[in-house]
Amino acid sequence: MQQIQQLQNSINQYIANKRYGASPAELYDPIGYIMSLGGKRLRPCLLLMACDMFGGDVEQALAPALAIEVFHNFTLMHDDIMDKAPLRRGKPTVHEKWNANVAILSGDVMMVESNKLIMQVNDSILRPVLDVFNNTAVGVCEGQQIDMNFETRAIVGIDEYINMIRLKTAVLVGGALKMGALIGGATDSEGTLLYNFGEQLGIAFQLQDDILDVYGDPEKFGKQVGGDIISNKKTYLLIKALELAQGETLTQLNQWLAADDFDPAKKVEAVKSIYNQLGIRERAEAEMSQYAEKALQNFEKINLPDNRKTVLKEFADALLVREY
Amino acid sequence: MQQIQQLQNSINQYIANKRYGASPAELYDPIGYIMSLGGKRLRPCLLLMACDMFGGDVEQALAPALAIEVFHNFTLMHDDIMDKAPLRRGKPTVHEKWNANVAILSGDVMMVESNKLIMQVNDSILRPVLDVFNNTAVGVCEGQQIDMNFETRAIVGIDEYINMIRLKTAVLVGGALKMGALIGGATDSEGTLLYNFGEQLGIAFQLQDDILDVYGDPEKFGKQVGGDIISNKKTYLLIKALELAQGETLTQLNQWLAADDFDPAKKVEAVKSIYNQLGIRERAEAEMSQYAEKALQNFEKINLPDNRKTVLKEFADALLVREY
């Protein structure tokens, strides 16, 4: 069994050594660029851990693991165009550094590259692995579209929100784990248990992200604390607050949401105080714990000795106690 | 053996009955929309013809044939954003009818759908078919980027131009044929002969398109005759003219290329007259014939009875004598 750090080193080295096409440069340079911006490489690590857990050869899983990371970065490249984001991990986004056309087309070819990489598995599991990959990819696209739709909708339900983050974030976590399991020799039903574990873990992770955006330690949180409040992002917290707030509290919340010209710090403070009044943090944490609990129930059903399950279990635990 | 019309009917019916996802509507409606705009369905027909030629079951090839058409339309959807095209087959493009974000994301999910469709082949040929599909997809992306690069370059060589149209147009013709051949039971080397046939046929077809844009019958040509001249598009004709023109002729040609404010009909007439002076049409036709000839040489090497090869041969011949 390999420890997380070892797996992370392997995938980082594999990413650093990987060359995509060379010409035309406008098509391939952005791939090297976005892949070099770093990140925690969570998704490929999850694939490797799942493979290792079932006794598979981690070396053989590196190309499929990279496929997940290339696919993830393709979605980031296109999402950044759609969101008009100027920065990605503190560096100019591809459509800013080059232009939108380059970002569209480089993203397209990244998607093809990820398809080529995911195919580097044994013939016996090629079809099941590709089925997971394609279903995951469809889910991610649906999630992104639903997320964009939310921006122009006045009311979004909690169930709709959970479904959106499931699609946009969690199916890829589940998919990476299931693909890793299949590569490692797991049966389809073992793979499905791990998929469910990952999907629910992913939802819990995203709910935690929503919480940290408001309540995270500014010293440790990578992004601006309160960013979601400033931009009226429909997170679990805001949706729940709109559901629970009444009378004067609701009026105040709606005023802040409608405000065009405001002091960001004051808006964050005011909305946070409404959240506190309504006990939103506790509710969000309870919801998050529920998904973490469901995730673990699936994980426990996987019939492997505990010592094989430790690495992934510890990784999942660590994911959900971060303060950043 | 099925005749072209039968195959075309089969694929048209299959396209008309196909449903993609339902929700979110913004993601899936544009797929139904662009697929309903019609077109000659050349690429899926080629796949079916190749399958039929080798004695395969055309019914079983319909999903992979649709994969090619969905992939082709995905590239059109993204190309239209990049080219800022308002119309596609006389109807508003997806980014005009919805918006650019919808066109990006719908295109992305079409790419995934095409991957799912192309997988509907027997396990024994899944990997080789996917290899052709992925290599084709990479080629198309490279071709589109090279084409965009040409717009801002002063000088483009004939070889570079041929390579661009090979990637942007011809690899998909070759790929569709090779995939159809493999599905029909052809060996890899037979598939490769058909691929080469298709690639060279595709280049000839694109050269003919360049010729028809200037010399086509306005009654029959679907697009505005002279459109390439008006927009200074670097076609075979313009590149060759820039290569051959000297003295006063070159000065005149460059003046028309630099003109901001001009009468379109006058520009078309003047540039066409320069082309005529330089014998550009004859050169383009000679180049086109060379590729058609090379295509046929590959086709003849395929070891099948002539009666099995008639349909595809006639289709190819018809492709290259069109006046529209």
Indicate whether A324 belongs to any domain: no
Indicate whether A17 belongs to any domain: yes
Tokens read off for B231: 């927009």
* Best CA proximity match to A20, nearest among B130, B148, B165, B145: B145
Tokens read off for A162: 């959970």
Inter-residue contact A54 to A302 (CB < 8 Å) = no
| Other CB atoms within 10 A of residue B29 CB | 17
pLDDT tens string B129-187: 999 999 999 999 999 999 999 999 989 999 999 999 999 999 999 999 999 999 999 99
Write out chain B residues lying below 8 Å of A126, CB-based.
Answer: 126-127
In this prediction, residue B204 has a pLDDT band, given cuts at 50, 70 and 90, of very high
Indicate whether B324 belongs to any domain: no
User: What's the confidence (pLDDT) of residue B258?
Assistant: 96
pLDDT tens string B291-318: 999 999 999 999 999 999 999 999 999 8
Domain span at residue A140?
A: 4-319
B138 touches chain A (CB under 8 A): yes
In this complex, do A123 and B119 lie within 8 Å of one another by their Cβ atoms?
Answer: no
Residue owning tokens 């959240």: A275
In this complex, do B21 and A113 lie within 8 Å of one another by their Cβ atoms?
Answer: no
- Testing the interface with B: which of A76, A80, A101, A147 to mutate, by most B Cβ within 10 A? A101
For A68, B42, B246, B275, the CA distances from A15, given in Å and listed in that order, are 12, 39, 51, 51
Report the complex ipTM.
0.94
| Other CB atoms within 10 A of residue A12 CB | 14
Phi-psi group of B41: left, alpha or beta (phi > 0 → left; psi -120 to 50 → alpha; rest → beta): left
The number of folded domains in chain B is 1
Indicate whether A81 belongs to any domain: yes
Question: Rounded to whole angstroms, how far apart are CA atoms A147 and A234?
Answer: 9
Question: Rounded to whole angstroms, how far apart are CA atoms B239 and B242?
Answer: 5
In this complex, do B101 and A111 lie within 8 Å of one another by their Cβ atoms?
Answer: no
Classify residue A61 by its DSSP letter: G
Task: Say which range, A186-190, A317-321, B231-235, has the weakest mean pLDDT.
Answer: A317-321
A8 touches chain B (CB under 8 A): no
State the CATH number of the domain containing residue B233. Answer: 1.10.600.10
pLDDT at A319 over 90: no
Indicate whether A32 belongs to any domain: yes
Inter-residue contact B94 to B106 (CB < 8 Å) = yes
Nearest CA in chain A to B131: A116
